[in-house]
Chain A
Amino acid sequence: MSRNLKLYLAGAAMLLASLQQGVLAADGTSSTASATAAVQLIRPITVNKSADLTFGSIVKPSTGTGTVAVSANGSRAVTGTGAAALTSAAATAARFVIDGEGGQAITVTVARSFALKSSGNPDLTVTTTNDLPGGSTTQTLPASLGSDGSLTVNVGGAFDVSSATPTASYSGQFSVTAAYN
């Protein structure tokens, strides 16, 4: 094998190597470039209620106005002259469990207020409180892409009660919504 032929073969090998790397072909007549292509799939988001918000049984104030509050951790506080909560009917905060794709950003919307209704009586307006981390509606589900991320939010509430509030059983509904951004 002549020296020239060896050089030629070496050159050919280098040309092949450069082509395999996807760079400009050595003779400049062709060129290649690569791009990545990507898609992310995430599981549907769900919200499930695992506990209702219950205020229990409240004795209304004898005079004036008081408040009834159940915090997100389920503790109850009643104010007002003569007002009290009966220990026989426990209070609970509502609990919602949000499940979705780990690591994904979501927006959680808790109703700010809702009405407790009783037929024939004026509504009692409940203002809600919740324990979303940082008090923010924008959250990131724990865990990472490819596994389930679960976030629990507890919801409490407070309403005014006066000596004039009709005695009755009151109930109402409110919603918690979770959505990917």
Chain B
Amino acid sequence: MFSFRMKLAAIAIVLAAAVAPAHAQSTASTTATAGITVIQPISIVNNKNMNFGTFVKPSSNTTVTLSNAGVISGLTAVNTSGNAPSQAQFTITGEGGQAINITVPGTVALTGTGGSLTVTLTADSGTTGSAQVATLSGAIGSAGTKVVNVGGTVPLTATTASGAYSGTFTVTAAYQ
């Protein structure tokens, strides 16, 4: 698409060149404007992975919440040295001022030797599970960014096997 737009731009320039030197006769000339907007590709990178941390199994069902700012509630994380809780964070870069859609999945499954846990994701870009509208910072002509933080909740039970659980989720950013 990018190269296609570049071609359009080139064609527009050729057209403009063809129109401008209209005959140098005593007749009037008309100027048409040919507009095209070329914007840079959009990209998203993962800055930080999501980590709830380490928890002692609760004696009764307890939901642990990891906020979009990386703060844990519901239980207290232990042995955080080298294993501190953190929200996931992504940075989207593209053309300034452009409207984009951000899609964060609704859930992610964490698997471990003891089974599976389902994390319900929350994003500061808005509701998860469907595309959310956002606008890149800045204005057209320069790069714009948008940072997306993703937290979540995970229900723990006394019968959940101890061990490490992990999974992967993907966030998509697209121009509208």
Complex Cα distance A105/B83, Å? 12
Q: Which one, A24-32, A72-80, A155-163, is touching chain B?
A: A24-32
Q: Which of B113-154 contact A (CB under 8 A)?
A: 113-114, 117, 119, 150, 152, 154
Q: Mark A34-74, 1 if CB is under 8 A from B, else 0.
A: 11111111111100000000000000000000000000000
> Does A82 have its Cβ within 8 Å of any Cβ on chain B?
no
- Contact status B165-A22, CB under 8 Å: no
> Does A180 have its Cβ within 8 Å of any Cβ on chain B?
yes
Which of B46, B79, B162 is within 8 Å of A33, CB to CB? B46
- Contact status B57-A44, CB under 8 Å: yes
- Contact status A22-B79, CB under 8 Å: no
- Contact status B163-A31, CB under 8 Å: no
Number of A residues whose C-beta is below 8 Å from B? 28
- Contact status A35-B171, CB under 8 Å: yes
Report A-chain residues with C-beta under 8 Å of the C-beta of B174: 29-31
- What size tier do the contact residues of chain B reach? 35 or more
Provided the pairs A22-B170, A42-B56 are in contact, do residues A37 and B152 lie with their beta carbons within 8 angstroms? Answer: yes
Q: Which of B72-111 contact A (CB under 8 A)?
A: 78-81, 83, 88, 90, 92, 108, 110
Report A-chain residues with C-beta under 8 Å of the C-beta of B173: 30-32
Chain A residue at minimal CB-CB distance from B150 = A35
Complex Cα distance A40/B57, Å? 9
Report A-chain residues with C-beta under 8 Å of the C-beta of B168: 34-37
Which of B117, B154, B160, B169 is within 8 Å of A35, CB to CB? B169
- Contact status A101-B169, CB under 8 Å: no
B78 CB → nearest A CB, Å: 4
Report B-chain residues with C-beta under 8 Å of the C-beta of A169: none
Chain B interface (Cβ < 8 Å from any Cβ of A): 1-2, 40-46, 48-57, 59, 64, 78-81, 83, 88, 90, 92, 108, 110, 113-114, 117, 119, 150, 152, 154, 156, 160-175
Can you sample 9 A-B contacts with CB below 8 Å?
Answer: A24-B42, A27-B41, A34-B170, A34-B171, A37-B88, A39-B119, A41-B165, A42-B78, A146-B161
The 10 closest A-B pairs by CB, nearest first: A28-B41, A30-B174, A27-B1, A39-B52, A180-B78, A37-B50, A35-B88, A40-B54, A146-B163, A38-B166
